[in-house]
Structure 1
Amino acid sequence: MDIVQALTDWIRREGALGNLIVSLAIVVAIWLVRHLALRTTLRRLDAPARYRWRRASFHLAVSLALVLVALIWLGGYRNVALHLGIVTAGLAIALQELIESFAAWLFIEWRRPFTVGDRIQIGERCGDVIDLTPFQFALAEIGAWIDGDESTGRIIWVPNSMVFTEFLTNYSRPGLQYVWDEVVVHITFDSDWRRARQILEGLLKDLHATLPDTLPDDVERASRRYFGLETETAPAVYTRVDDRGILLSARYLSDLRRRRRSQHILWEGILSAIEREPHITFAYPTRRIYHSPAADETGIPRPPAG
């Protein structure tokens, strides 16, 4: 207590110079504490957890430094409260959008609709979350003019407030990095559809074997957190008919960042297998023209003679 009183008396004697020295000392001390804490903590964490610790400790350090420096320069708790009340009233009107984004950041940190590393779609934009700040987050864009959910190379900065006004889709939740994908094979009515189905089932089985063995356990664990979440992981082939032929829909789980690669492997297997099958033919739009010798130049059949 004597040290605090002595420091207070010294600051009053030195005026602005004393305030400046103490403010710098506070900033340096907080930076050193944060640096030492991170060095002892980050070694035991994975990359996403290290990122979250760095961001959280940075925001905590800045907030603490601002409060302590304000106490030094404004001369105590009462003056700080008075000044903050006046400033807050003005900022609430002038910086409404920033306040909404900051409130959205608190919501994101609390409810975790997504975190850094997740693949999300918000509004019409889709990408991987690579940074999250109190006012905006960054997406490594995918899609747009690129097929197969591949990266475009662009980074999009999105205001946090959009989580309150736009639909948000998270491809990576709940803790899974796999999504259902589907490939549709169209064959003619006179094709051996049973053999085609058998080929697809074999290809899907080989593709499914490349997934990690822990996937069923991960899905089961996620289903206990989210009611009604599908727990089936096995691929399937479904059959239906339309006016062009027989449709065989191959449904399977794919790594969300390798969806295009999975489709590439599956389609090459399908093309190679169908090429060796003489009784299976792909269906595609065609037009057949029948010529009748009994028709005149107008195309209208002439009535038979006699």
Structure 2
Amino acid sequence: MSLLAAVPDVVGVESGAVQVLGVTLVGVSVTTAVKLLFTGLLVALVMVLRAGALAVLRAVLGGAVADPRRFWARQAVQVVTAVVLVLGLVSIWVTPETDVSVGVGLLTAGLAFALQQVVLSLAAYFVILRGDTFNVGDRIELGGVRGDVVRLGFLRTTIMEMGRPPAVAGSDGASWVHARQYTGRIVTVSNGTIFTEPVANYTRDFPYLWEEIALPIPYTEDRVRAEEILLTAACDHAVVGDPEAEQALAVMRSRYAMSDASLDPAVFWRLTEQWVELSVRFLAPHRGVRAVKDAIARQVLTGLDEAGIQVATPTALDVVGMPRERQERRPGG
């Protein structure tokens, strides 16, 4: 009252209503004006404290954004800030004399309908915080986007996009990076996507990938020697005899009803009309797969050259003969 009375020419009070320059503000009483003032002060104070807490965290935990400690500490600050704001606003605007049951019910119903996607994303945020889906730093596929999770917010997950192998990229859109390496694009995906689409996690329980390299060998070449070259290259560069990989696989078997899986490289044959397709299957870490496949490919090509083995291609097929009837037939004959 004293603050409003100090400026009678600008702001006035009449019958409990606030007037500005002689205009009565409908629905704004002195009590409402005071509550608005306290609301602004509360929001400003909480934001200042939040910024100070984040600055202290950066100074204590360092500047590594991908540090899990910094991530969880930042999320704790965000949650505490939201709780303090909600409790403070309720304390300011709700009094024992206020009948808010009907208003709160209508407001809740309206917000639930208008902000259903926001509510869904917020609920998904707390599901993600449990750690059963993914964490910051995991390599995932969410909402058709593949890459590393670099930030997790209340409503959206931020992903550093990575490329796709040609066979995968051709099925759902072109990618100019034909491997699991960064494209440079930062993509945000709604958290609520975890409720409607599958989430593929490359790193959470088993930080390895089974990869394959297929090699077409003509029937006339030394296929056994080609298999030896493939297997030797895979054993030299893939994950072989790694205790950590064996331990990770044992943990997977204890958690999930999965069948037995071999960690050792193996070569499989497939017969086609033109050639024998030799596919070498091997284990690689979830990061750096392209480097492993590059090293294997280089060693395989060197070994094939030394052994004098040719790789089959569709353009190199020989025509071995044609039926005489087709040779003698002429157009229109």
TM-score range, shorter chain: 0.7 to 0.9
Give the unaligned 5+ runs of structure 1.
1-11, 302-306
Offset at residue 186 of structure 1 (A): 1.1
Closer, same or farther: CA 42–227 of 1 in aligned 2, 3 Å: farther
Q: Distance in 2 between matches of 1:275 and 1:91?
A: 69
Give the unaligned 5+ runs of structure 2.
1-30, 164-174
**Equivalent residue, structure 2, for 1:260:** 290
- Which one-letter code corresponds to 2:328 in the other structure? I
Kindly indicate whether residue 303 of structure 2 is the aligned counterpart of residue 283 of structure 1: no
Contact 2:136 2:152 in 1 (8 A): yes
Kindly indicate whether residue 177 of structure 2 is the aligned counterpart of residue 158 of structure 1: no
Offset at residue 216 of structure 1 (A): 1.1
**Equivalent residue, structure 2, for 1:128:** 148
**Equivalent residue, structure 1, for 2:42:** 23
Which SS does the other structure have where 2:262 is aligned? coil
Contact 2:239 2:282 in 1 (8 A): no
Offset at residue 118 of structure 1 (A): 1.4
Q: Distance in 1 between matches of 2:133 and 2:209?
A: 17
Contact 1:119 1:127 in 2 (8 A): yes
Kindly indicate whether residue 218 of structure 2 is the aligned counterpart of residue 188 of structure 1: yes
The correspondence for 2:256, drawn from 222, 226, 240, is: 226
Q: Distance in 1 between matches of 2:273 and 2:320?
A: 20
Which SS does the other structure have where 1:216 is aligned? helix
Cα deviations by residue, 1:136-191 (Å, 9 ceiling, x for unpaired): 111111122310122111111111122122222222231x3211110011111121
Alignment of 1:66-85 (within 5 A): 66-75=86-95, 84-85=104-105
Q: Which moved more, 1:80-89 or 1:219-228?
A: 80-89
**Equivalent residue, structure 1, for 2:76:** 56
Closer, same or farther: CA 167–32 of 1 in aligned 2, 3 Å: closer
Which SS does the other structure have where 1:299 is aligned? helix
Q: Which moved more, 1:158-167 or 1:181-190?
A: 158-167
Which SS does the other structure have where 2:291 is aligned? helix
Offset at residue 229 of structure 1 (A): 5.8
Cα deviations by residue, 1:254-287 (Å, 9 ceiling, x for unpaired): 1222121111111101101101002x22111134
Which SS does the other structure have where 2:303 is aligned? helix
Offset at residue 33 of structure 1 (A): 9.6
Closer, same or farther: CA 30–272 of 1 in aligned 2, 3 Å: same
The structure showing larger relative contact order (alpha-carbon pairs under 8 Å, at least 6 residues apart) is: 1
Q: Distance in 2 between matches of 1:287 and 1:36?
A: 67
- Which one-letter code corresponds to 1:27 in the other structure? V
- Which one-letter code corresponds to 1:160 in the other structure? N
Q: Distance in 2 between matches of 1:134 and 1:186?
A: 50
Which SS does the other structure have where 1:156 is aligned? strand
TM-score (norm 2): 0.72
Cα deviations by residue, 1:65-88 (Å, 9 ceiling, x for unpaired): 331243134336976777644432
Q: Distance in 1 between matches of 2:179 and 2:155?
A: 30
Q: Distance in 1 between matches of 2:36 and 2:114?
A: 33
Contact 1:122 1:167 in 2 (8 A): yes
**Equivalent residue, structure 1, for 2:204:** 173
**Equivalent residue, structure 1, for 2:124:** 104
Q: Distance in 2 between matches of 1:141 and 1:18?
A: 44
Q: Distance in 1 between matches of 2:195 and 2:181?
A: 27
Q: Distance in 1 between matches of 2:209 and 2:261?
A: 12
Kindly indicate whether residue 136 of structure 2 is the aligned counterpart of residue 116 of structure 1: yes
Q: Distance in 2 between matches of 1:107 and 1:39?
A: 26
Q: Distance in 2 between matches of 1:290 and 1:248?
A: 24
Cα deviations by residue, 1:181-236 (Å, 9 ceiling, x for unpaired): 10011111121111111111111111135785422112212321222165532111
TM-score (norm 1): 0.77
Contact 1:101 1:134 in 2 (8 A): yes
Closer, same or farther: CA 71–29 of 1 in aligned 2, 3 Å: farther
Closer, same or farther: CA 267–94 of 1 in aligned 2, 3 Å: same
Q: Distance in 1 between matches of 2:241 and 2:97?
A: 59
Alignment of 1:231-242 (within 5 A): 231-242=261-272
Q: Distance in 2 between matches of 1:269 and 1:200?
A: 9
- Which one-letter code corresponds to 1:169 in the other structure? A
- Between the two proteins, the alignment pairs up a number of residues equal to 283
Which SS does the other structure have where 1:276 is aligned? helix
**Equivalent residue, structure 2, for 1:142:** 162
Q: Distance in 2 between matches of 1:21 and 1:98?
A: 24
Q: Distance in 1 between matches of 2:180 and 2:46?
A: 44
Q: Distance in 2 between matches of 1:199 and 1:288?
A: 26
